[in-house]
Amino acid sequence: MHEGSWSRHDGRAPKRDGVTAAWPAATVAATSVLQVVLVVVGGPLLVGLMRKVRCRLEGRVGPPIRQPLLDLRKLARRERTRPDQASWVFSLAPLVLVGTTLVIAAVAPLLTTDPAFGWYADLFAVVYLLLLGSVALALGALDTGTAFGGMGASRAMTIGAIAEPALLLAILALSVPAHSSDLPAIVSGSLAHPIWLATPQRLLALVAFVIVIVAESGRLPVDNPSTHLELTMIHEAMILEFAGSDLALVKLGESMRLAVMVALLADLFVPWGIATAPGPAHLAVGLVAIVAKVAVLGVVLAAFEVAVAKLRLFRVPELMAGAFVLAVLAVVSSLVTP
């Protein structure tokens, strides 16, 4: 790398001017809107699917896959409550949680390698937006002034303090061969050079990424989303005081976060099928591909959840530290392998 001649990665048209030249403006905006709609609807459905798979594997029938959507509709109509001690921070928290995830859904390469607002932000922005959502929820929990809120916030931030860096490093390891922290560039880069996908750093980063997803979305073995036992709950302790439409927003936000992260996982490690060119046909293929990939990953994650038991709280940081070390190794090995 020399002065003034930093390698500009091929495989992707130059941004903005190039985009508007090749893609009609309406389609451009449509891709981001489509992604957002997909995540808003798909998030709850993914949660429903995972619940269904779990139930089936445990020999139960389980609620229908669309049950989380029905729950959201029900909750949205219910009354909001606010604890005596809470301030505006409590009311703002669910909005920030959902808002950050909506922005990520608009900028991340989910359906297409060129989402309209993709050049707004890169992988660091995505990670820090996720962190902003977590921080908002933790502050909302502390604002209730209860023991549960503090307990949940403390545990979530402890786990997040190690999980977020692991996530950052895992994606960073993938960005080294692409010479860019731009998520679309990484995805289209690995489409152009499938050999990147078979490198050891991909594998290490993949494992780290999966652990982080499990932790960040509060699923087994880190946290059990279906428990309300005081001693073990993390995420549920934080959202105990939310009710009605606030609770609906929190539930929606967390399912969207899960969907976005699983979709990113899918596109970063198995990029095939994502739309690389404009046009409804490509987008349709991209849509089918991402839905199929996320569904398969959801089923695998759910099956994994059935097989494991919840870890003791203080074993969780060890798991996170493991993910962090794997991510560091991924970055280091990305330097050794070309």
Check if the beta carbon of residue 63 is closer than 8 Å to that of residue 48. Answer: yes
Other Cβ atoms less than 10 A from the Cβ of 139: the count is 18
**Minimum CB–partner distance for residue 19 and another protein (Å):** 13
Of 88-117, binders to another protein (CB under 8 A) are 89, 91, 94-96, 98-100, 102-103, 106-107, 117
**Minimum CB–partner distance for residue 103 and another protein (Å):** 5
- What sign for the dihedral angle of Cα 264, 269, 273, 277? positive
Q: Please give the angle made by the CA atoms of 97, 228 and 207, to the nearest 5 degrees.
A: 60
Binding mask 309-328 toward another protein (x if CB under 8 A, else -) reads ----xx--x---x--x---x
DSSP string for 226-259: T---TTT-SHHHHTTT--HHHHHHHHHHHHHHHH
185 lies in the site for another protein, by CB under 8 A: yes
- Residue 175 class from Cβ within 10 Å (0-12 exposed, 13-18 middle, 19+ buried)? buried
Cα 76 from Cα 70, distance rounded (Å): 10
**Minimum CB–partner distance for residue 182 and another protein (Å):** 4
Nearer to another protein, 164 or 267 (CB): 164
Report residue 295 as tokens: 């569904």
**Minimum CB–partner distance for residue 78 and another protein (Å):** 8
Residues 6+ apart with CB under 8 A from 206: 170, 265, 269
**Minimum CB–partner distance for residue 55 and another protein (Å):** 28
182 lies in the site for another protein, by CB under 8 A: yes
Nearer to another protein, 143 or 305 (CB): 143
**Minimum CB–partner distance for residue 167 and another protein (Å):** 9
Check if the beta carbon of residue 263 is closer than 8 Å to that of residue 287. Answer: no
Among 46-54, 149-157, 206-214, 286-294, the segment contacting another protein (CB under 8 A): 149-157
- Residue 335 class from Cβ within 10 Å (0-12 exposed, 13-18 middle, 19+ buried)? exposed
Of 37-96, binders to another protein (CB under 8 A) are 76-77, 79-87, 89, 91, 94-96
Structure letter (DSSP) for residue 157: H
335 lies in the site for another protein, by CB under 8 A: yes
Among 62, 65, 67, 146, binds another protein (CB under 8 A): 146
Cα 182 from Cα 85, distance rounded (Å): 43
Of 116-145, binders to another protein (CB under 8 A) are 117, 119-122, 124-125, 128-129, 131-132, 134-135, 138-139, 141-145
155 lies in the site for another protein, by CB under 8 A: yes
Report residue 70 as tokens: 């029905």
Decide: helix, strand or coil at residue 87: coil
Binding mask 237-266 toward another protein (x if CB under 8 A, else -) reads ---xx--xxx-xx-----------------
Among 23-31, 166-174, 206-214, 266-274, the segment contacting another protein (CB under 8 A): 166-174
161 lies in the site for another protein, by CB under 8 A: yes
Count of residues engaged in binding another protein, rule: CB under 8 A:
101
Tally the C-alpha atoms within 13 A of residue 300's C-alpha that lie toward its C-beta: 10
DSSP string for 23-45: S-HHHHHHHHHHHHHHHHHHHHH
9 lies in the site for another protein, by CB under 8 A: yes
Among 169, 211, 213, 239, binds another protein (CB under 8 A): 169
Report which residue type is found at 50.
M
153 lies in the site for another protein, by CB under 8 A: yes
**Minimum CB–partner distance for residue 129 and another protein (Å):** 6
